[in-house]
Amino acid sequence: MDRRSFMRWGGVAAGAAALTHAGPADAQQTPEPVLPPARAGRRAPARVVAPGGQPAVVTPNGTTLPWTVRDGVKVGHLVAEEIDHEFAPGLRARAWGYNGGTPGPTIEAVEGDRVRIYVTNRLPEPTTVHWHGLILPNGMDGVSGLNQAPIPRGETWVYEFDLRDPGTFMYHSHYDEMTQIALGMMGMFIVHPRRPRGPRVDRDFVLSTHEWRMEVGARRPDPNAMGDFNVLTFNGKSFPATAPLVVGVGERVRIRLGNLSPMDHHPIHIHGLNFVMTATDGGYVPASAQFPETTVLVPVGGTRVIEMVPTEPGDWAMHCHMTHHIMTQMGHGAPNMVGADTRRLDRRMRRVAPGYMSMGANGMGGMGEMRMPIPPNSLPMRGGPGPFSYIDMGGMFTVLKVRENPDDADADGWFTHPDDTVVGPADPARLAADQIEV
């Protein structure tokens, strides 16, 4: 008789006293599942890359590192170089990245693989690559000075190791980190388990968060910034350039979040559903330790893997909940004008600057939308067009598009709301009937 069936056998006096204490603990070991079960038959026709039907990881706005296989070893090539990077239309930067992008290509492999990764350094200074979270031989860990000499400019060095553990990891420069990471030298490293853990997911996404300091009009991110970062990105893009995540009602969806921002943690919030954290860059979270959340804090230098089963179709906001992280350059450093009576000031200013108008006295909600002239190579205060009006968030913001038929859905299209399910002005008769005085 195992312990649980002994528990059910309840009424026996001899066992009852001893089990009084054990009862609640036993109940905790078999928690109610936090997420609803994924809807059967909703399996998306995903590209399978790992045993057990595990789908390929999708990197919105990004790419995946191609492998060639030589004698059973997966061989890849990262080129560290200066790149011309667009955060969103209107704002470009001379950043540093890998293989033409920042973040660099997502590295995706399977537990037990042996990988050989060549790193060519085309930067104007030395570099290294650290494989963040992977447990590997010390001499492959990539910390300049501690584990290796830095890779000189113009040279190609090679890292080779076995992928011992599955998980969601990262890679980044570990030479002159402050400069190189601030300029974009980072990417994600996914190792699928050889035997799947937990329920199979239908879709698997990876998003890396980052923050940059771009002086208005400048061409290069400022690596010396310690605060007041003014360009916030998912996979190197600020909304509205962030690609939406299109998923199906009832599908089980995994999103792997990583953070190699220089200074800030990001509380990532998703509307319209709840999720559980199933893993970090340290390993899997046991099912008994998972709890429901709608916001997950992704720390600098950490990954957080969340899974969800959306039940409500729609266009759901997904964003960092730090309000300054859904802003862009123009939202920073402005004087606080909220509540100020600026009429006299405006009249006087117009004598020397015709058309002058103080901004922000009634709040700043409409500022992104105003087509006011902005300096070259800068973004409007925030936001982009939405289905109802201007969306006045920018930066670290994207949209989770939950659809009944996600594979036929137009990723650029907006949700069609069923009749009578959209908020609108109050009906006077209804107001009166409910005795609401306005």
Give the footprint of Cu ion on this chain (CB under 5 A): 266, 320, 322, 325
Nearer to Cu ion, 322 or 327 (CB): 322
Give min distance, CB of 331 to Cu ion, in A. 13
Structure tokens at 422: 């959209």
If the CB atoms of residues 159 and 212 are measured against Cu ion, the closer one turns out to be: 212
CA distance 325 to 251: 29
CA-CA distance, 243 to 58, in Å (whole number)? Answer: 11
Distances in whole angstroms, Cα of residue 23 to Cα of each of 4, 96, 289: 10, 57, 18
Shortest reach from residue 392's CB to Cu ion, in Å? 17
Quick one: 288 or 295, whose CB is closer to Cu ion?
Answer: 295
Question: What residues form DSSP beta bridges with 79?
Answer: 120
CB of 319 to Cu ion, least distance (A): 8
Shortest reach from residue 189's CB to Cu ion, in Å: 22
Smallest gap from Cβ 257 to Cu ion, in A, equals 11
> Residue 396 Cβ, how far from Cu ion at the closest point, in Å?
5
To Cu ion, the closest distance from the beta carbon of 423 in angstroms equals 28
Beta carbon nearer to Cu ion, 250 or 262: 262
Closer residue to Cu ion, CB minimum distance, 61 or 147: 61
Shortest distance (Å) from residue 267 CB to Cu ion: 7
> Which residue is it, tokens 């020397």?
352
Give the nearest distance from C-beta 318 to Cu ion in angstroms.
12
